[in-house]
Amino acid sequence: MNKNIFTLVFVVLAIGLVVQRLENPQVRKPSANPLVIDFNDVQDFSNLRPGHIKRATKFAIESADAILDKILAISNTDRTFDNTMVKMDDIYVAIESVWSPGYLMGSTHTNKDIRDEGLASSKTIQKYMTDLALDEDLYNAVIAYSKSKEAQQLAGYKKKFIDDTLLDYKRSGFSLPKVKRDKVKKIFNELADLGLAFNKNISEYQDTLFVSAIEIEGLPENYQKERLQTNGSYAIDMSYPSYVPFMDYAISGDVRKKLKFKFNNRAVDSNLDVLNNIIRKRRELVDVLGYKSYAEYRTEDRMAKNPQNVWDFENDLKDKLRAKGEMDIAEMLKIKSSRTGTNADVIHVWEAGFYENLVLKENFNLDPEEVRQYFEFNNVTEGLFTVYQQLFNVKFKKVENPSVWHEDVLMYEVFDRSTKEMIGRFYLDMFPRANKYGHAAAFSVTMGKMTADGYQLPATALVCNFPKPTEFQPSLLTHDNVETYFHEFGHLVHGVLTQAPLMSYAGTSVARDFVEAPSQMLENWVWQKESLSLFAKHYKTGDVISDALLNRMIAAKNVNSGTKALQQVYYGVLDFTLHDGYDPDGDVSTTEIVAQLQNEITFYPYQDGTHMEAAFGHLNGYGAAYYGYKWSEVYAQDMFSIFEEKGIMNAEQGMRYRKIILEKGGMEEPLMLVKEFLGRDSNSDAFMRSMGLE
């Protein structure tokens, strides 16, 4: 995602940076504020108290305004890239110094006042950024510089930065009369408020299904013990470590149906209206800006370039996946028919995980619960560290007694093995708790930036919700959990290993439909014997996972690859449908769209009375961009083909990947980076092989 003035929005990958503070007497630096720190220091999260984020936000905005004043004070004839464009990037740095850690606290802190303050800060900053994006004086300064002789001769990332900035000015309505620009500003602010409300309603939603001893049959003993209530019932909440195993293992289809109904109705009472308002405001925005749809607006500055390319991509993928999906469903129906003594002809949404597991067990002698025994969290972490450290020539050093926001959070420093220099930091917040962000994501805390004092050390927080260790057993991850861990850690290293000179291009600040590719590429290491043997050890005996079990896992890799991929196509098409012509005030509701597309694209019929869109957070954060998951996977698998050929632990190729893909961030167009790494044009051959389609 290109992080210039107009695209500084919070998404699943939150971003931020600590900035060297201005020595400006007019900007009063708060004393003893955990978020207002010196250059390359760390935030004192453990001492964060209500009021700190609010005061730090005020300081960040004042600091940004002081930089803006300096830019505007320069004569147009004296403008240079350094005193205008770099300083514009410095404004974003000042803002991000509080925006990102504040938003992280709003998503993870245990204190409600601090969470609310973090989200309120984000709202304040988003409104400030909207004002800045529509600041006519700054626009005139950039235009004046763009016409200078120096600007006309720019090359590389500098030329890209001025070009991207000018494009985004156009996308913010600067070709329009002032009255329309004011309307654009108002809509951006309203969208910021709606987006924060949508996310908050999801994260704060609580619901529990209480089941009997008979109804919980099929679940592992430790799972049952952890949820046993004093009255003899069992509490199944909506967190993933609770919900997913129940859907996969519970014998009772009726109870799975009840839980699926609850899960797909999270935040329904509040968010259906919020979602409709988001869609309305996005339609209103693009109408003012002169775009045919929000999808057209969103794709303009991405790899896809226009909606038609996305529709072609999704429809082509849907057609190619159909045959594999039919094979997947046929295998599940065969088992269902045998179990029920009927000629089963449908797999319901609440049966998908259950019968997929039975396919693994009966066709491949693969029990996911047996596999979990080999993926104890600490062992997986150690193995993941080994893989990433070897590939990218870095060393992770644990920080003892770090200042963190919860006792579960760990902190590490990252060193380059060759130079021995520290190049970044990261945090791990890996287990669920009440009111914490409920999915898995990498949140930037600090973003890279070249300054007069050296390179600003980036920091990223990995926030996950893996099963927490209990008195009954340690944290045991499913293989899907392990894949998620490797994926999200890929985002983390993308942020931490950056060497981009501008914050606007640091780390994951790449085209949005490419942002997943570097992480998706790194998922492949959880399917390779050489890497799995490093950490897949039985949590009781310490025995390394056997070749026989590994072979069964790898053989079963593409079980339901068709149905799973079609599910992703469905999500992408749903997102795009709602943003490419859909009218929330028309005759069709978002839920009717959900039902229609689910029945048309997936093999699992829509469950009457559910409204999954109310808790589908990506409709807010991604908005006409969810297609990027599959889009970027094509490039991810193509890049992995190099490691397949040269060796998956090949340090030379790992360093090429670090230098070309990870360090450069958004400095060059993604297609050019991929081509440089591959040494050829990209194609979809490896992607199709990865799906078991060739």
**Are residues 151 and 86 in contact, defined by beta-carbon separation less than 8 angstroms?**
no
Q: Looking at domain 1-133+135-171, which CATH architecture does it have? A: Up-down Bundle (1.20)
Q: Which residue would you say has higher pLDDT here, 446 or 134?
A: 446
pLDDT tens per residue across span 458-503: 999 999 999 999 988 999 999 999 999 999 999 999 999 999 999 9
Task: Please check the confidence at residue 21 and state whether its pLDDT lies above 50.
Answer: no
Q: How far apart are CA 621 and CA 635, in angstroms?
A: 22
Inter-axis angle of helices 52-73 and 112-133, nearest 10 = 10
| Domains of the chain, residue spans | 1-133+135-171, 206-263, 377-555+629-690
d(C-alpha 597, C-alpha 675), whole Å: 35
Mean pLDDT, the chain, integer: 93
Q: What are phi and psi of 160, to 5 degrees?
A: -60, -40
- C-alpha angle 361/479/543, rounded to 5°? 85
Angle at 184 between CA 183 and CA 190, to 5 degrees: 90
Mean pLDDT of 33-58: 97
Task: Say how far apart CA 660 and CA 669 lie, in whole Å.
Answer: 12
pLDDT band at 644 (very low <50, low <70, confident <90, very high): very high
What pLDDT, on the 0 to 100 scale, is given for residue 368? 86
| pLDDT, tens digit (0-9, with 9 covering 90-100), for 334-383 | 999 999 999 999 999 999 999 999 999 999 998 888 999 999 999 999 99
Residues with catalytic roles:
488
Dihedral angle of Cα 193, 97, 381, 558, to the nearest 10 degrees:
40
Predicted local distance difference test score (pLDDT) of residue 466:
96
How does residue 26 score in pLDDT terms, banded at 50, 70 and 90? low
454-456 vs 449-451, strand pairing mode? antiparallel
Q: What six digits make up the tokens of 147?
A: 């016409």
Pick the CATH number of 377-555+629-690 from 3.30.830.10, 3.90.226.30, 1.10.1370.40, 3.40.50.720: 1.10.1370.40
The reported pLDDT for the residue numbered 535 is 94
Q: Which candidate, 206, 35, 7, places its Cα nearest to that of 104? A: 35
Instruction: Pick 368 or 179 by higher pLDDT.
Output: 179
Mean pLDDT of 594-612: 98
In the chain, % of residues over pLDDT 70: 96
507-529 pLDDT, tens per residue?
Answer: 999 998 999 999 999 999 999 99
Q: What is the pLDDT of residues 182-222, one digit of tens each?
A: 999 999 999 999 999 999 999 899 999 999 999 999 999 99
Residue 25 has pLDDT above 60, yes or no: no
Closest CA to 643 of 659, 629, 655, 631: 655
**CB within 8 Å of 186: residues ≥ 6 apart:** none
- What pLDDT, on a 0 to 100 scale, did the predictor assign at position 502? 98
| Per-position DSSP letters for 633-657, written without gaps between them | HHHHHHHHHHHHHH-TT-HHHHHHH
Lowest-confidence pick of 2-11, 36-45, 269-278, 629-638: 2-11
* Token digits of residue 100: 């990102």
Strand partners, 412: 398, 426
pLDDT at 29 over 70: yes
Q: Which of 94-98, 266-270, 548-552 is predicted least confidently?
A: 548-552
